[in-house]
Structure 1
Amino acid sequence: MTTITLGEREIRETVTMREAIDAVRRGFIDLAAGEFEMPTRTALRDGRFLVMSAHHRSTASAMTKTLSVDFDRKPAITGTVVWSETGRPDHLVADAAVVTTLRAGAAVGVATDLLAAPDAGRLALIGAGAQAPDQVRAVHAVRRLRQLTVVDADPRRAHALVEALKPELPGVELLTAADAESAVRRAEIVCCATNATSPLFPESALPAQVHVNAIGAYRPTMRELPDELLADSTVVIDELGAALEESGEIIHAVEAGAISRDALTELGAALTVPDTEYGKRTVFKTVGVAVQDWAIAHLLAGKFLT
């Protein structure tokens, strides 16, 4: 038996963001087609320890991810992703932190490509933590950015992220903002990547046409978006069961009567309906599902296991 172990350097040098987006898009389409067995993840100690798994029927391959989350620690996410295939003696083990940030970015890239206006190029990013760089890279891969505005509770982190991304974004106007409300006022795309427990901005702060991605709140006790935004938008989620069990925004909005379950569209289903007309305001809410991790692991397996 051969075990291939991959760290951040090997993964970053091998997988482009465009490849990750394409892989995650195919994964969501297969999820909608019933190709996956994917139980809702196990969350222990209010989400500090997570276990996720997915089995892809047509390839007889499976992925299991275990990780711990501690926002007071650097890195905040640690763990492993294990990929294996029935009948093959070799398997792959990858750093869960880089797979998680890459797959979260890729999912946002898929959703932004589907939902944002074709000419959208002004991105407001709220949260400058470990997830933030791949959020920017993913949006930039599907919508050529003209302007990026970053805001964080710690202004130093916002400035540091802008400086770090400069070499990757030539010609893009790079700014920081003092607060989320001012950052989103002229945005065409918004990415929220925080551990907030209450909405980051009021619905009234947003332009009439905008696409919002929210990846940070992954437990019922966490929220990044206001009910009013969800009520006034086309809302796409990663997977219904996961959103209703884990997304603080969705749970709160449904219980408040701001949105109904029937108004929620899974990303995989949305991808299979061509030429759909969406409203001027769109939201993609993801808590992260195992098919995303499987997609990145499957991509890595194709490159490293022969």
Structure 2
Amino acid sequence: MSTEAEPPARLPLFLTDADVEALSDLPSAIAAIRAAYATPADEHRNPGRIFADSDREWMRVMPSVPASARLFGAKSINGSFADGLRVSYLISLFDKDTAELVALVDGNRVTGLRTAATTAVGAATITPERPVRLGVIGSGFEAQSHTAALALVAGIASVRVFSPTAANRTAFAARFRASLSIPVDAVDTAEAAVRDADLVLCAARSRDESPTIHADWVTDDATIISIGSTTPAQRELPTELIARAELVVADGRDEVLHGSGDMIAARTAGVEVDALTASLNSVLLGERPVDRDHGIRIYKSAGAGLQDIVVAEALVDLARRRGVGTELPISIVTTRK
């Protein structure tokens, strides 16, 4: 403890969930993510998740000191089973030079924004530079945000979407038929969405944690986006498909290799997943070459604090320019040691 406290140069900003919704901008988020991953992977700057839990409460903290940013901080995900499951998300941002608190951001919508933006950056490294047919599994928030993000980085010629509820997949098709001005069809089976697709987006959790697609549906040179297997218990891609892959690009290599049920199952089956898998950083830096036209290429996401912090910083910068958010009347103490 120190009594040598210094007043903040500027009072911190608070962004509500509604503020984040108003400020959300995929191109800006994609630019922030691309800059963040165009630096060498560094586990000291970006360690893995930190967990604390009891039988009733749990907390997950995702810290990051991004090399590409002015700010650093952490996202905390806080849950309680006292009355069903209730979860809140908070991102705290600090100035790298002064350690002063710069902002507190409701992280609820930031999570979806940064995940879609990171997927766009990852997909851009492995998707062919030609018009592609997109097959989508799922029609909910993740499927919608990721389809919008993919459309910004890939030349999508057509879309086929499947989800178990006919009304939901029909609504998805109508939305993107209008917004993308390309053929978008709702289909009756997952196989119909995936067969002959050049790019496959898996964005729907299976009810029994079994893979949502089959390996023999996938063409030999397809690009696969997998965002729904982020814990050891979750499954999305079959082992046979991972075994056919030429490359797996991961937003966090260690977390994908050891935290994704897909990769754990593939390793158990004898697939050399460590040799297959490269970090998104190494691909963007040109350290791991990619043939975008040949062989199955997979992008797998586990999420990372790095993504939350750089996207939240971009939101705070935009909020300051637009006069959005609430400037807090007080701040925490910053001291010299």
Q: Which has the larger Rg?
A: 2
Q: Please tell me whether residue 236 in structure 1 is matched to residue 245 in structure 2.
A: no
Paired AA for residue 198 in structure 1: S
Change over 3 Å in CA distance of 1:51–1:26 after alignment to 2: same
Residue of structure 1 in register with 2:146 after alignment? 135
What is the aligned counterpart of 1:206 among 192, 215, 218?
Answer: 218
Counterpart AA for 1:194: A
Aligned-pair distance for 1:204? 0.8
Superposition map of 1:144-183 within 5 A: 144-169=155-180, 171-183=181-193
1:274 CA displacement: 7.3
- In 2 relative to 1, CA 76–131 (structure 1 residues): closer, same or farther, beyond 3 Å? farther
Provide the residue aligned with 1:108 in structure 2. Answer: 119
| Most deviating of 90-99 and 244-253 | 90-99
Q: Which whole-Å deviations, capped at 9, do the CAs of 1:243-293 have from their partners, x for residues lacking one?
A: 133111111111211233122111111110179342431000111111111
Q: Give, as a single letter, the amino acid of the residue that structure 2 aligns with 1:189.
A: L
CA offset digits 1:36-68 (Å, max 9, x no partner): 622211355899753211123575632311225
Matched, 1:302 2:317: yes
What amino acid sits opposite 2:238 in the alignment?
P
- Alignment match, 1:249: 262
For 1:144 and 1:227, locate their aligned partners in 2 and report how far apart those are by CA, in whole Å: 29
Q: Is the 8 A contact 2:122 2:251 kept in 1?
A: no
How far 1:225 sits from its partner (Å)? 0.4
Instruction: Count the aligned residue pairs.
Output: 301
Which of 47, 55, 61 is the aligned partner of 1:51?
A: 61
- The amino acid that maps onto 1:251 is I
**Residue deviations 1:14-33, cap 9 Å, x none?**
3431221121111112252x
Output the amino acid matched with 1:25: R
Between the aligned residues of both structures, percent identity stands at: 24
Mapped partners of 1:111, 1:250: distance in 2: 18
Question: Match for 1:99 among 103, 107, 110?
Answer: 110
* Deviation of 1:10 (Å): 3.2
| Letter aligned with residue 261 of structure 2 | G
Distance 2:147 2:134 in 1: 8
1:270 equivalent to 2:292? Answer no
Moved more, 49-58 or 99-108: 49-58
Match of 1:29 in 2: 38
Give the TM-score normalised by structure 2. 0.80
Range 126-135 or range 60-69, more displaced: 60-69
Query: Could you tell me which residue of structure 1 aligns to residue 328 of structure 2?
Result: none
Q: What displacement does 1:5 show? A: 2.4
1:38 corresponds to which of 14, 32, 46 = 46
Asked if 1:222 corresponds to 2:234, the answer is yes
Amino acid at match of 1:18: P
What's 2:129 paired with? 118
SS at match of 2:196: coil
Q: Name the CA distance, whole Å, in 2 between partners of 1:24 and 1:143.
A: 17
Q: Is the 8 A contact 1:230 1:259 kept in 2?
A: no
Q: 2:272 aligns with which of 226, 241, 259?
A: 259
SS at match of 1:131: helix
| Residue number in structure 2 paired with 1:17 | 26
- Residue pair 1:59, 1:85 contacting (<8 A) in 2 also: no
User: How far does residue 141 in structure 1 lie from its aligned partner after superposition?
Assistant: 0.1
Alpha-carbon shift at residue 208 of structure 1 (Å): 2.2
Deviating more after overlay: 11-20 vs 180-189 = 11-20
Give the structure 1 partner of residue 73 of structure 2.
63
Q: 1:159 to 1:185 in 2, by over 3 A?
A: same
Stretch of structure 1 that moved more, 86-95 or 101-110: 86-95
Unaligned runs of 5+ in 2: 1-7, 322-337
Q: Following the alignment from structure 1 to structure 2, what is the Cα–Cα distance between the partners of residues 59 and 144?
A: 30
3-state DSSP class of the match of 1:56? coil
Change in CA separation of 1:227 and 1:163 when aligned onto 2, cut-off 3 Å: same
Question: 1:133 offset after TM fit, Å?
Answer: 1.8
Out of 55-64 and 131-140, give the one that drifted further.
Answer: 55-64
Q: TM-score, normalised by structure 1?
A: 0.87
Of stretches 121-130 and 96-105 in structure 1, the one that deviates more from structure 2 is 121-130
Q: For residue 81 of structure 1, what is the aligned residue in structure 2?
A: 91
